[in-house]
Amino acid sequence: MWCRKPCLPIANLSSRISQRQIHARPAQTFIAQRQRLESRTSEERLYPCASDFIPAPTQTPGPEESAETRRKIQWSKRPEEVLLHLNRAIKANHFDSAVVGSAMKRCEQGRWWDCLCQVRLLQTRHQVEMTDVTLGIYLTGLARCASGEAYGVRKDRREKLLQLGQDAWDTFGSFSGLNQTQVGILLNSALHLCSIAASAAALEWAEQLWHLASLSGGETLEGTWRFEATRVNYETFLTILSKCGQQQRVDDMLDSLEERGWRASPVLVAALVHVAGEQRNSERAEELWRRLVDRVGAKPNLMAIAARAKAQMLVGKIPACADIIEQGIEQGGMTINYKVFEMLVQALTLIYHSSLSLEDRLRLQKVLESHAVDIRDMSTRQQQDWVKLRGVADALLAEPKQLRHRDLLVTWHAQRAMVKWANFQAGTAYLSMGDSSRS
């Protein structure tokens, strides 16, 4: 989810960030994206340089005449501000690909779908070149904006996603003329879009792009080169296969990679387990965990633990969800973040409401007392959800029999999993019932 720090005066930024990469600071990325990037070692990153949080795909600075416009765009708080700065750039005759890329990146950060489409329309209307960098930003922006400002990918946007991406790709042409790094970055942007579209057509396009990339090559001062997919490329392609129900192909590709000495990153563990959970296949999630973590030796991070726990919650296995979080945090020596803490508190409120046992009550109280929540780092929606969840937990501890099951469903995952359950009274042990008895 988007998390943005309070804006600082532009004049004070020169010592902290470059003009070229104002959007590359951790505070201006999605929390989930930030955690994925921070989880990767330098060898596992898509970009060749690891000196910055998100290194630039090119070291060539943008045109100086549009530098001020780009800075203003990146600090825009609303889509209307972005479009205002673009129109001023058009009138000042410095509406270039760097300005377009900056505007698209800001739309990605804000999940401003309509604004992103407007930027693309202006780019086409004024015949601004579609470079590999701009195309990569646009494809990534489409994928992220498809989720809107709430939870999950919006159906109406998912249906348009692939066509918009393919139209932009056709404008650019091909991988011809790009080097190894540029091919890998652009390929991954397109693959990420396909993973969000998650359709048979998206899988077909992903396979076409993979084939085209494999044919890329050229001559350099060091000699001839042929494109080799990066670790991140493989992980994104595996995610597409998983989302499209190609589990056997996922297993076969993992077998092939493991034979070459490859070990899954925490990011891939989280991604594949997350997909299995979204498909309501907790058995597949556990199978992947045993393979990638227990057998191959991948080191799970907090995202992976959260994905595994969520897979259990989405099928109504609430005690398993809580156990996974508590054991994972304890064994991994990790610091719990808000999203995982929220899931744990939601699970423990349900467990106590179901049993009304002293043991479960003390367990909930201990968790509430041992973790502090700093709402300053949350989005407005997260703050609202947390205040409501904490209020429910306090009310449950005070008067447990005054609440019914549906009164406790605060988080999105809990609502998705249990909104159709019967509205159980406290102390009826409903979490121990079979699925047929809960409806």
Structure tokens at 380: 């407005």
Find the angle CA(209)-CA(210)-CA(211) to the nearest 5 degrees.
90
Q: Which residue has the tokens 């780092």?
A: 377
pLDDT per residue, tens digit, the chain (439 aa), is 334 333 333 333 333 323 333 344 555 555 556 665 666 665 555 555 544 444 444 445 567 778 899 999 989 999 999 999 999 999 999 999 999 999 999 999 889 999 999 999 999 999 999 999 999 999 999 999 998 766 688 999 999 999 999 999 999 988 988 999 999 999 999 999 999 999 999 999 999 999 999 998 877 777 788 999 999 999 999 999 999 999 999 999 999 999 999 999 999 999 999 999 999 999 999 999 999 999 999 999 999 999 999 999 999 999 999 999 999 988 877 888 888 999 999 999 999 999 999 999 999 999 999 887 777 667 788 888 999 999 999 999 999 999 999 999 999 999 999 999 999 999 999 999 877 567 6
Q: Where are the beta strands (DSSP E) in 191-334?
A: 217-220, 223-226
Residue 30 in 3-state DSSP? strand
Which pLDDT belongs to residue 93? 92
**Could you write out the DSSP letters of every residue in 333-358?**
TPPP-HHHHHHHHHHHHHHHHHH--H
User: What 8-state DSSP symbol labels residue 310?
Assistant: H
Distance separating alpha carbons of residues 337 and 52, to the nearest angstrom: 23
- Burial-class residue 149 by CB neighbours within 10 Å (0-12, 13-18, 19+): middle
Distance separating alpha carbons of residues 420 and 43, to the nearest angstrom: 46
Distance separating alpha carbons of residues 300 and 328, to the nearest angstrom: 9
Give φ, ψ of 118 to 5 degrees.
-65, -40
Neighbours of 426 (CB within 10 A): 20
Distance separating alpha carbons of residues 95 and 238, to the nearest angstrom: 38
- Name every residue whose Cβ is closer than 8 Å to that of residue 165 and which is 6 or more positions away in sequence: 139, 142, 190, 193, 194, 197
Structure tokens at 239: 């995610």
Which pLDDT belongs to residue 383? 87
Dihedral sign, Cα of residue 383, residue 387, residue 388, residue 393:
positive
User: What 8-state DSSP symbol labels residue 77?
Assistant: S
Q: What is the CA radius of gyration of the chain?
A: 23
Neighbours of 170 (CB within 10 A): 10
Which pLDDT belongs to residue 308? 98
Q: Where are the beta strands (DSSP E) in 272-373?
A: none
How many residues belong to the chain?
Answer: 439
Structure tokens at 193: 């879009």
Q: Which residue has the tokens 């029999």?
A: 401
Which pLDDT belongs to residue 17? 28
Structure tokens at 57: 């795909």
Neighbours of 430 (CB within 10 A): 22
Which pLDDT belongs to residue 224? 86
Residue 257 in 3-state DSSP? helix
Report the amino acid identity of residue 398: A
Cβ burial 105-128 (10 Å sphere, 16+ → b, else e): bbbbbbbbbebbbbbbebbeeeeb
Give φ, ψ of 225 to 5 degrees.
-130, 150
Contact 2/77 with Cβ under 8 angstroms?
no
Distance separating alpha carbons of residues 392 and 403, to the nearest angstrom: 9
Per residue, the 3-state secondary structure of 219-244, as one string, reads: EECCEEEECCCCHHHHHHHHHHHHHC
Between the alpha carbon of residue 83 and those of residues 2, 73, 89, the distances in Å are 20, 9, 10
Which pLDDT belongs to residue 55? 47
Distance separating alpha carbons of residues 154 and 172, to the nearest angstrom: 27
Report the amino acid identity of residue 320: A
Question: In the chain, what is the straight-line distance between the N-terminal and C-terminal CA atoms, in Å?
Answer: 32
pTM of the entire structure? 0.84
Which pLDDT belongs to residue 330? 86
Which pLDDT belongs to residue 61? 58
